[in-house]
Chain A
Amino acid sequence: METQELDKNRINRLFREKGNDLLSVYYTAGFPGPEDTMEIARLLEEAGADIIEIGMPFSDPVADGPTIQASNNQALKNGMSIARLLSGLRNMREQISLPVILMGYINPVLQYGVEKFCSECEQAGVDGLILPDLPMAEYLQEYKQIFDNHGLKNVFLITPQTSEERIRQIDDNTDGFIYMVSSAATTGAKKGFSDEQLEYFERIRSMQLQNPLLIGFGISDHSTYSKANEYARGAIIGSAFIRLLSETEDKERDIKKFIKEIKGRS
């Protein structure tokens, strides 16, 4: 029974079937152009990404640094909304097979209606959600049942300041993966990892959590990606990819090149 349940969700399947060095790539829906969202997902799959994380733009993204903020603004100017995104993803599963996670702030989801949102996510074939400003207590009390009913994994964040007790609590209340924020920071690239960060990675690794870990925030190139992979099942890249999207004139060529360089395959 449990294995069947696990297999149904693409996130669980990925972590069961694939090894290490997983790469999750974040980009903002409706950025750079209003109709780019599905095309970028397709290109990421072709290029060898392992998880696709699509951001739902918000007017006040407090956990994000300047790069992702700017992409949110641009996407909103382009008319992106949850309604438009979900309608654009309706035939997603005819085109891509990778796990897809939607990431965004709670307010637009509340306004859309949590039940309606989750139900349409399920229909589109979305596998999980990251809602950084949805507190664990509220999630467990109000929303977990709805998420579960629609087969959506809620991905929690942990940071260097998260207590061991709370990490255990998070580990007990999710079965997708845990998003390990690499430093006390908003999103955006830093230069490499400090000894302090590596100690934190080691501390978390040695906790031997049930859930796989992906490290995000500050992953910008092959060296940070492969360092992160020494401590976790994979890494998440966001701002660096957004920068690429805002600069590229040939998405197909440059996304391939980008993923190849991050993964370090020749």
Chain B
Amino acid sequence: MSYLVDEKGYYGAFGGAYIPEMLYPNVEELRQNYLSIMESEEFQEEFRQLLRDYVGRPTPLFEAQRLSEKYGARIFLKREDLCHTGAHKVNNTVGQILMAQRLGKKKIIAETGAGQHGVATATVCALMGMECIVYMGEIDMERQRPNVERMKILGAQVVPATSGSKTLKDATNEAMRHWINNPSDTHYIIGSVVGPHPYPDMVARFQAVISEEIRWQLEKQTGSQAPDYVVACVGGGSNAAGAYYHYLEDPEVKLIAVEAGGLGVDSGKSAATTRLGRSGVLHGSKTLLMQTEDGQVTEPYSISAGLDYPGIGPMHAHLFTSGRGEFLDVTDEDAMKAGIELSRLEGIIPAIESAHAFAVLDRLSLERDDVVVINLSGRGDKDLETYIKWGKY
């Protein structure tokens, strides 16, 4: 079984391009060109150079001794938190802005949840001198204020999404509407492995640099390119897609996806899509989706804005239903505790999104010589206020 996208844009039963005709020309233009652009030597050269000199790649693969001691395995942290702008999101925005330039686009729009993708987009727009509009849910703007200000400092316009739950889903709706109204000169930089084909595949390919590096870094440190586990948090799923990418076809490597359980999967306040969702269509793809019996999309909840999304990328929906990936969920409380634990044991304050991935370590029945790679997708600076409010440290 393949876990990559097929020629029709599907991952098993999931994916496709369920978009109104108004978006068809843009998405089709991208579909026809993205692979040849990405694979051209000239593109790769500029992309690689920016990842190295601007983003700061390769990011380290750090063996976390005290965490390893505690959980009884060899635990490595892929330090995406050390990327410029503080999270893995910038890998994709660097790639997509180069794509937008080659498609002759002049303006950039983006949606953002936690603000990390918005900041990463505003950053590359400043770098390339392109106009940037970021849609962000009104509620997310409140809980991620520092990132709102960062985007503004970088010269982006931040537009509040005031419909629905006023979070990531609604910001995505507004960005799509903007694109419908401005089809010819604007590129939409989607921040996760969601949206109509070819976005999930394109974003996964840009993020695949994460597992590309893990392979050679791990070989240097352990003698093998393949760990026993790769663990990552999943909202839409871009950091997980990047961390899994080069291990998808290697069944020896267990892929662990950690979703946001919120106040608990049965509490009605959760974003654990694989537990609560079923097949449906949102934002251009068929995927697992939290919805009512009538097919109305329900409002998710998580303490972490970056995981507060009612769907997951179609690639992950396929990993879940095929059994290739193991999906776990973690409550707000356990994620916060794991964040504090990482801070105390390793001197690293993680983003609350990433903290979810650390909260499953005691559920993995690890053995002493197991090699575990956790994708530390972002740093916790943006979450200080949430940590302070939570207060149990």
Residues of A within 8 A of B (CB): 58-60, 62-63, 65, 69, 73, 76, 81-83, 105-112, 132-135, 137-138, 156-159, 161-163, 166, 181, 184-186
> Beyond the given A58-B296, A63-B180, A107-B297, could you list 12 further A-B residue pairs with CB under 8 A, ordered by the A residue number?
A58-B295, A106-B18, A108-B294, A133-B281, A134-B18, A157-B20, A157-B22, A162-B21, A166-B24, A184-B182, A184-B183, A186-B181
> In the complex, which of the residues A76, A112, A162 contacts B24, with contact meaning CB atoms closer than 8 Å?
A162
Chain A contacts of B295 at CB under 8 A?
A: 58, 82, 107-112
B52 close to A (CB within 8 Å) = no
Q: Flag if B21 contacts A158 (CB, 8 Å).
A: yes
> In the complex, which of the residues B21, B184, B296 contacts A132, with contact meaning CB atoms closer than 8 Å?
B21
Chain B contacts of A157 at CB under 8 A?
A: 20-22
Which one of B122-130, B169-177, B199-207, B219-227 contacts A? Answer: B169-177
Q: How far is the CA of A186 from the CA of B284 in the complex (A)?
A: 16
A57, chain B: closest CB distance, angstroms: 8
Chain B's closest residue to A134 (CB) is B18
B338 close to A (CB within 8 Å) = no
Q: Flag if B16 contacts A135 (CB, 8 Å).
A: yes
Interface residue tally for chain B (C-beta within 8 Å): 35
Contact bitstring B143-175, A, C-beta under 8 A = 1, else 0: 000000000000000000001100001000100
Q: How far is the CA of A156 from the CA of B292 in the complex (A)?
A: 28
B315 close to A (CB within 8 Å) = no
Return 23 A-B CB contacts under 8 Å, by A number. A60-B164, A62-B20, A62-B180, A73-B163, A82-B294, A107-B297, A108-B295, A108-B296, A110-B281, A111-B280, A111-B291, A138-B16, A156-B21, A157-B22, A158-B21, A159-B22, A159-B24, A161-B24, A161-B26, A184-B182, A184-B183, A186-B22, A186-B181
B19, chain A: closest CB distance, angstroms: 6
Chain A's closest residue to B298 (CB) is A59
> In the complex, which of the residues B8, B180, B281 contacts A186, with contact meaning CB atoms closer than 8 Å?
B180
Chain B contacts of A76 at CB under 8 A?
A: 296
Q: Flag if B294 contacts A133 (CB, 8 Å).
A: no
Q: How far is the CA of A162 from the CA of B291 in the complex (A)?
A: 32
Chain B's closest residue to A138 (CB) is B16
Chain A contacts of B297 at CB under 8 A?
A: 59-60, 107
B41 close to A (CB within 8 Å) = no
> In the complex, which of the residues A59, A83, A107, A186 contacts B177, with contact meaning CB atoms closer than 8 Å?
A186
> In the complex, which of the residues B173, B182, B293 contacts A60, with contact meaning CB atoms closer than 8 Å?
B173
Q: Flag if B291 contacts A185 (CB, 8 Å).
A: no
> With A59-B164, A132-B21, A159-B22 in contact, is A111–B180 under 8 Å at CB?
no
Q: How far is the CA of A108 from the CA of B280 in the complex (A)?
A: 8
> In the complex, which of the residues B180, B289, B294 contacts A83, with contact meaning CB atoms closer than 8 Å?
B294
Q: How far is the CA of A111 from the CA of B183 in the complex (A)?
A: 30
A27, chain B: closest CB distance, angstroms: 19
Q: How far is the CA of A249 from the CA of B8 in the complex (A)?
A: 51
Q: Flag if A59 contacts B22 (CB, 8 Å).
A: no
